[in-house]
Amino acid sequence: MRIRMRTNPATTTMLLNELPNGAHATVTRVAPASDEVDAVSLRRLAEIGFIPGEPVQLLRRGPGGREPLAVLIGDTLFGLRLLEARCVEVSTDLDARAA
Amino acid sequence: MSTTSNNAGMPWSVALVGNPNCGKTALFNLLTGARQKVANYAGVTVERKIGSTRLANGQSVSVIDLPGTYSLTPATPDEQVTLEVIEGKRRGEDAPDAVVAVVDATNLRMNLRLVLELKRMGRPMMVALNMADMARAQGLNIDVAKLGAELGCPVVETVAVRHDGHAELLELMQREFAAARPTQLAASDFAPSTPAELQREVRRILAIVEPGITTEFANAKRFHHRLDAVVMHPVWGLAILAAVLFLIFQAVFSWANVPMDAIKAGMAWAGEWVTAHMADGPLRSLLVDGAIAGLGSVIVFLPQILILFFFILILEDSGYLPRAAFLLDNLMGKVGLSGRAFIPLLSSFACAIPGIMATRTIANWKDRLATIMIAPLMTCSARLPVYALLIGAFVPDRSVGIFNLRGLTLFGLYVAGVVSAMLVAWVFKRIWIKSRYQPLMLELPPYRMPGARNLALGLMERAHIFLARVGGIIFALMVILWFLSSYPAPPTGASGPAIQYSIAGWLGQALQHVFAPIGFNWQISIALVPGLAAREVAVGALGTVYSMSAAGGEVADALAPVIAKGWSLATAYSLLAWYVFAPQCISTLAVVKRETNSWRYPLLMAAYLFVLAYAAAFVTYRVSVALGGG
């Protein structure tokens, strides 16, 4: 599996919560974005499917337009708050997707 | 126990393991029908569901439904229990002879990770490819034989919503147990795998068993995106939610009144019948005022519980509940609650008991505990008679603009309850359990048609839990309360009400010293003791105390004018403030004990509500007196 680096200027890597509604992307990395997200939450993110190489689509946001976010990860739809969505790095370059 | 030694009449046992929303409970219901028992695992609040099913050869198999889980990393009590039961390390539980991994066939990408983890535990395993009909309808042609070969264990298709959808699984169990293969012991202790490692294996298997299926293809068929666009819409979604909540509130609040009145009337009739057919004496009093009244006070809650859970089960099974939680998460999150807390809190306006039972839909324990703790602050319907009496007696029937002053007062009392609940939740989450941030990570499963079997079994389960677990405690306390209010009997020639001479009366007189600073007289103090049974009983008790006090003279008229004359305005306001928090409801404390599996939380709840009630009443009384209401 190829993991695109943030430093590579040819690809667009961003955080999951920065995607516009409806956008497709591929998970590249799951990393803590703040002290409030502990190791258990990070592990849980991976367990529910936020794994490098998995296809992801941000469907919509909750009332107010900020959070929660409705995210299709693989074939499963999850509601995430901003804090945990910020822990997921994605690439909008769909070639990064694993088979 | 090993499978080879299991011939001597001990039934075979299997454990159902699977992701949340894979239809595991529906499959469990199909396998076991009404032959199931629900309890808690010792020491934790994880539900233990066990039942039995019969194979074609007449053999009985005991089935354990383990909690839905995404992985076997023991991070939550649910996962801890799941892991321990499968490994046979849970005290008091035998290891199951085989594990049945229940898999949502429409979402192998996610479900297979858990199957692979289970496989690594080395227990005998079967895979039930559930919702096989839906997978086929969605164009996912899963090669069952190849999947079995890749996983190295037998795989069968099941359809939990069809009455014979478990036939293949039963046949497989019979074959497996007949073969009586010796248990493969895991070579070493089970070590969890990383999700990334598991997912590589899942991708490899998917490419073999359902080649050419892309996520875009699968998801377009799996989810109803156009329905979600309305249901989860910031405006339309909230409008639909408001309509749904209004319907539930209406149902629990008013539809339940008909059966509840019937139960009360039935119990009153039973009491009269016994009174008419038995000689007067302590035994008759125990039967009528203790046992029958106690029983009545238990089953009177049943209509509300059943109606509320009828709606909750439909909303849950259809997939709407998590979407509603999604819509409300931002709002509820501001005070540190989960979006899922809204249904328990809403139902608590009718009665905290079904509300607290409904907190089971909140997966996170701390969120659930915070919701349970504030549920009694929602103004329950039992407080209405008290409010109505006091408002009727003390608040003038006057218009304020287009509103009525009495209506405004009542509204204000409801608002006071909600506002204090929010404050308590905030304090509770920030200070006591010190959790600043809770992740949401809420699965929004595809919409599904709720099934009648699951609905019926779900309702039976709730009714059973309430009657068997909570009912016993409430009933026992009612009988104790009867004893306290009846003994010792008043001396001959006594002029006061009988209750005044009883232990409850003494308690009331003693409590008077506690309650004097907040303006309560001895009559109120006594009424608070039987008011422990249910808040509205306090009104009846006040009536008893006052009408009996006037026994020698004229018969008391309606209670309202009596207390309007006898109490100061400050006392009335103080009692209203007291009842916004009103800690004294034994039934609520009993259900909290059952739901939290400990006496710690009901005691804590009673203590904090008492402190708040006392403080609020004290401030109200002193301010009213200072303003000339004394």
Is the bond leading into B450 cis (omega within 30 degrees of zero)?
Answer: no
Mutate to test the interface with A, among B70, B225, B437, B438 (most CBs of A within 10 A): B437
- What CA–CA distances, in Å, run from B569 to B521, B580, B612? 13, 17, 21
Each domain of chain A, given as residue ranges in start order, spans: 13-96
Distance CA B55, CA B97 (A): 15
Closest CA to B581 of B432, B420, B425, B431: B420
Strands B47-54 and B60-65: antiparallel
Query: Which superfamily does CATH assign the domain made up of A13-96 to?
Result: Ferrous iron transport protein A (FeoA) (2.30.30.90)
Beta bridge partners of B399: B404
Is the bond leading into A32 cis (omega within 30 degrees of zero)?
Answer: no
Residues of chain B found within 8 Å of residue A55, distances taken between Cβ atoms: 215
- pLDDT tens digits, residue range A22-49? 899 999 999 988 877 888 888 889 999 9
Give how far the C-alpha of residue B154 lies from the chain's centroid of Cα atoms, to the nearest Å. 38
Radius of gyration of chain B (CA): 29
Nearest Cα residue in chain A from B441: A80
- Give the minimum alpha-carbon distance from B214 to chain A in angstroms, rounded to a whole number: 10
Q: What is the pLDDT of residue A49?
A: 92
> For residue A74, is it left (φ>0), alpha (ψ between -120 and 50) or beta?
left
Tokens at residue B242, please? 């408001």
- Give the minimum alpha-carbon distance from B76 to chain A in angstroms, rounded to a whole number: 10
Each domain of chain B, given as residue ranges in start order, spans: 3-220, 462-629
Task: Look at A36 and B436 and tell me if their CB atoms are within 8 Å.
Answer: yes
Q: pTM for the full model? A: 0.77
Distance CA A84, CA B270 (A): 58
Work out the number of other CB atoms within 10 angstroms of the CB of residue A95.
Answer: 9
Give how far the C-alpha of residue A44 lies from the chain's centroid of Cα atoms, to the nearest Å. 13
- What does the DSSP assignment read for B327-394? HHHHHHHTTT--GGGHHHHHHTTT-HHHHHHGGGG--SHHHHHHHHHHGGGS--GGGHHHHHHHHHHH
Output phi, psi for B555, to 5 deg. -70, 135
Mutate to test the interface with A, among B444, B447, B448 (most CBs of A within 10 A): B444
Tokens at residue A76, please? 């499963």
Q: What is the pLDDT of residue A2?
A: 46
Task: Look at A63 and B225 and tell me if their CB atoms are within 8 Å.
Answer: no
CATH of segment(s) B3-220: 3.40.50.300
Tokens at residue B542, please? 């006040």
Residues of chain B with pLDDT under 50: 1-8, 182, 185-187, 548-557
Work out the number of other CB atoms within 10 angstroms of the CB of residue B179.
Answer: 9
Task: Look at A41 and B439 and tell me if their CB atoms are within 8 Å.
Answer: yes
Residue B392: burial class (beta carbons within 10 Å; 0-12, 13-18, 19+): middle
Distance CA B569, CA B618 (A): 14
Beta bridge partners of B38: B49
Are B71 and B121 contacting, i.e. CB atoms less than 8 angstroms apart? no
Residues 227-266 of B with CB under 8 A from A: 228-229, 232, 234-235, 237-238
Report helix angle B586-596 to B600-624, nearest 10.
140
Are B330 and A63 contacting, i.e. CB atoms less than 8 angstroms apart? yes
Q: What is the mean pLDDT of chain A?
A: 82
Task: Look at B439 and A67 and tell me if their CB atoms are within 8 Å.
Answer: no
Partner residue facing A40 (CB), from B75, B109, B446: B75
Please identify which residue in the block is written with the tokens 């011939």. B7
Task: Look at B73 and A79 and tell me if their CB atoms are within 8 Å.
Answer: no
In the chain, the amino acid numbered B35 is R
Q: Residue B567: helix, strand or coil by DSSP?
A: coil
Beta bridge partners of B127: B101, B155
Closest CA to B96 of B4, B207, B24, B12: B12
| Angle at alpha carbon of residue B243, lines to B237 and B247, rounded to 5° | 145
Partner residue facing A60 (CB), from B106, B108, B232: B232
Closest CA to A71 of A87, B130, A96: A87
The answer for residues whose C-beta is within 8 angstroms of residue B161's C-beta and 6 or more apart is: B23, B26, B449, B451
Give how far the C-alpha of residue B300 lies from the chain's centroid of Cα atoms, to the nearest Å. 17
State yes or no: pLDDT of A79 exceeds 90.
yes
Q: What is the pLDDT of residue B582?
A: 80
Distance CA B458, CA B479 (A): 30
Distance CA B86, CA A86 (A): 35
Are B426 and B284 contacting, i.e. CB atoms less than 8 angstroms apart? no
- pLDDT tens digits, residue range B49-83? 899 998 888 888 999 999 888 988 877 778 888 88
Residues of chain B found within 8 Å of residue A53, distances taken between Cβ atoms: 199, 203
Give how far the C-alpha of residue B615 lies from the chain's centroid of Cα atoms, to the nearest Å. 30
Tokens at residue B76, please? 């939550």
Work out the number of other CB atoms within 10 angstroms of the CB of residue B239.
Answer: 11
Task: Look at A72 and B73 and tell me if their CB atoms are within 8 Å.
Answer: no
Distance CA B296, CA B364 (A): 34
